[in-house]
Structure 1
Amino acid sequence: MRDIARRAAVAAGVTGLVAPLTLALTAAPAQAASCTTQAGPYQKQVEKFLGRPVDGKQSTADCKAIQGFQTKYGITPSIGYAGSVTWGVMDLMNKQKAVGNKPNKDGKCPTNKGRIACVNLSLQISWIQDGSKLVYGPVPVRTGRDGYETRTGLKKIYWRDIDHVSTLYNVAMPYSQFFDGGQAFHSVALTMWTPPGSHGCVNMTPTVAKKYWSLLKTGDDVFVYGRKPGT
């Protein structure tokens, strides 16, 4: 199903090349909502991720730091509560960073297909390889949410449309490269960690979508595997 990128007003920002993923973790809301005084179930983990004193107790400074993170990545409600959604995004970021420049270390994406775009749903990353050689990435991506999962398996790019607009929802899908029944790589104006996910497409930042457009062509293979957290 074609992704509608329904929330299309959040600024995106992440780039990736043949290098470990880097994360921008500093942000503060222009107009903050009220902060909660309640410590969340993932308080210590969130404190550690944000470089706060790890004591498991909610402070005003803790709340403002958590709230800034939530606002940056579209996590609602952004009240500074260290809950499962907030920690889930942070945990995913940690796992993406740990991949470094070896995204196919497990060998699950085929190395006998020549140029191929790989998508690891479990880690929400994608990259392009040629045989066993890494060509571009890994980069964070945003795939289908629960009920709209990005379908797994070996596929091929069958249609490309640089200025595509969804005829169903009248939403722009720049740099679309379709590979499975309306599911496509394309650019969105969201961060790659904004929950809950797409409507099936593999969302990318504009920089990454443009790079994929330049590196791939009709007929190139795409391999999707794993399972997106929360689906």
Structure 2
Amino acid sequence: MAVRQGTGPSAAAAVLGVLLVLAGPHPAAAATSSAAAEPESACVAGTGPYQRELEDHVGRPVDGVQSSADCLAVRDFQRANGVSPADGYAGLATYRTMLVVAAGSDPNAAGDCPEREQRVTCVDMDRQLLWVQKGGRVVFRPVPIRTGRDYQETRPGRHEVYWRSKDHVSTLYGTPMPYAQFFDGGQALHGAPGSLYEGGGSAGCVNLTKPDAKRLWDLLAEGDDVYVWGTKPGTED
């Protein structure tokens, strides 16, 4: 394309304008414009099984029916606490995460776990939470767990860690039990692959995520107390 040459500021501006049209927009500017033009996806998840609990936790009116505002509030909670997918649905994983958050720095507010001078690993089967305290001080903040299913329930009461096996493999099931810390017969605190929220429960052990099991391994020692109480939701009393 031929561009007629002229002189002076007007001619220079005209030439520059033609060149800009030929070159097109700057890539970064185009990307910014595209991102700005693309709105965030709508929050359209329906009513979840833990709708009332999540509504109460995020400060929404508790009516048990999902609204657009409820969905957005639940989605914000999921994003803030690493729940995936963050879609605004009040499902089990979101509810269990809510229990961890709600327990906060005072998980033993009800006084169910005994306070002793030595470390006590507290296993709350009602809320499916584990933490460690020494006296009245929490030294390992609450984390989600999975305890035993029907007929293979985790045994309640006071126990103590009597054997530790870092790379243990179950002799009954042939499955890995990383960072296993045994406290009653074949029952142990240990890491488990996959989601803690799937299936009906463990075969009696206290399952943690592998990262949480490693942190617990680094803290505890043989002889430490383990105290178990409550009933896993969905199992018989």
The 1:98/1:185 distance shift into structure 2, 3 A limit, reads same
How high is the TM-score relative to the length of structure 1?
0.64
The 1:41/1:120 distance shift into structure 2, 3 A limit, reads closer
Displacement of 1:194 after TM fit?
A: 2.2
Displacement of 1:119 after TM fit?
A: 0.6
The 1:153/1:44 distance shift into structure 2, 3 A limit, reads closer
The equivalences for 1:37-52 within 5 A come to 42=49, 45=52
Q: Is the Cα–Cα contact under 8 Å of residues 92 and 197 in structure 2 kept in the other structure?
A: no
Tell me, in whole angstroms, the C-alpha distance in 1 between the residues paired with 2:50 and 2:162: 46
1:204 aligns with 2:234: no
**Corresponding residue to 1:123 among 94, 109, 127:** 127
1:107 aligns with 2:116: no
Tell me, in whole angstroms, the C-alpha distance in 2 between the residues paired with 1:227 and 1:159: 25
How high is the TM-score relative to the length of structure 2?
0.62
Size of the aligned set, in residue pairs, is 177
Partner of 1:213: 217
Tell me, in whole angstroms, the C-alpha distance in 2 between the residues paired with 1:145 and 1:168: 16
Q: Percent identity?
A: 42
Query: Max radius of gyration: which structure?
Result: 2
The equivalences for 1:58-69 within 5 A come to none
Structure 1, unaligned stretches of length 5 or more? 1-38, 66-71, 74-79
The 1:44/1:212 distance shift into structure 2, 3 A limit, reads closer
Tell me, in whole angstroms, the C-alpha distance in 1 between the residues paired with 2:50 and 2:121: 37
Displacement of 1:45 after TM fit?
A: 4.7
Q: Is the Cα–Cα contact under 8 Å of residues 168 and 180 in structure 2 kept in the other structure?
A: yes
Tell me, in whole angstroms, the C-alpha distance in 2 between the residues paired with 1:174 and 1:44: 35
The equivalences for 1:73-222 within 5 A come to 87-222=91-226
Structure 2, unaligned stretches of length 5 or more? 1-45, 59-63, 76-83
Q: Is the Cα–Cα contact under 8 Å of residues 156 and 180 in structure 1 kept in the other structure?
A: yes
* Higher RCO (Cα < 8 Å, 6 or more apart): 1
Displacement of 1:160 after TM fit?
A: 0.6
